[in-house]
Homo-oligomer: A and B are copies of this chain.
């Protein structure tokens, strides 16, 4: 297969997958979070996030609940730091996240509150439910095939461009 044809193949796939993801986005629309907020929420849920050294001043001085690790998160999600800031602010305002003193060096860490964790669980449940609907009709063999194909795509594209 010539590479030019593959490029068109990928474009076709992009159109398809964009549409599919659009459907899933509607799940998020139901929730009280924007797409960006949901992504941040997922990301915060993934791991506790020690801020690698630098920490917000206000957080320390005035015990504000808002924190750093902004740039790390921003990089992973490719959101502008300024915008991420607003999301984190909103989260702390909603009581979903807060600064806590970290266990070891006392460095503040931004983590989800219990309420934040609950919100995350809800959101994951909703998206899982919708994803499950996408694949409900697949037999075991087809499910395995899909999984395999997704892994292939990832492996082949990850190897390449990034």
Binding site for B on A (CB under 8 A): 1, 3-7, 9-14, 16-24, 78, 127-128, 131-138, 140, 142-147, 149-154, 156-162
Contacts and interface: CB of A to CB of B under 8 A. Distances in A.
Contacts of A162: 20, 23
A91 to B, nearest CB: 20
B147 A9 contact: yes
B135 A20 contact: no
Given A1-B140, A131-B11, A134-B161, A6 B146 contact: yes
A138 B18 CA distance: 24
B152 A20 contact: no
Contacts of A151: 9
> How many identical subunits does the complex contain?
2
B153 A153 contact: yes
A157 B9 CA distance: 16
B143 A159 contact: no
B161 A157 contact: no
A13 B154 contact: yes
Contacts of A138: 3, 6, 156, 159-160
B156 A1 contact: no
B137 A16 contact: no
A10 B24 CA distance: 12
A160 B134 contact: yes
A16 B158 contact: yes
A43 to B, nearest CB: 9
Given A10-B150, A12-B150, A153-B153, 15 more contacts: A4-B132, A9-B147, A10-B134, A11-B127, A12-B154, A16-B157, A19-B78, A22-B78, A23-B161, A134-B157, A137-B159, A138-B160, A145-B156, A146-B153, A149-B149
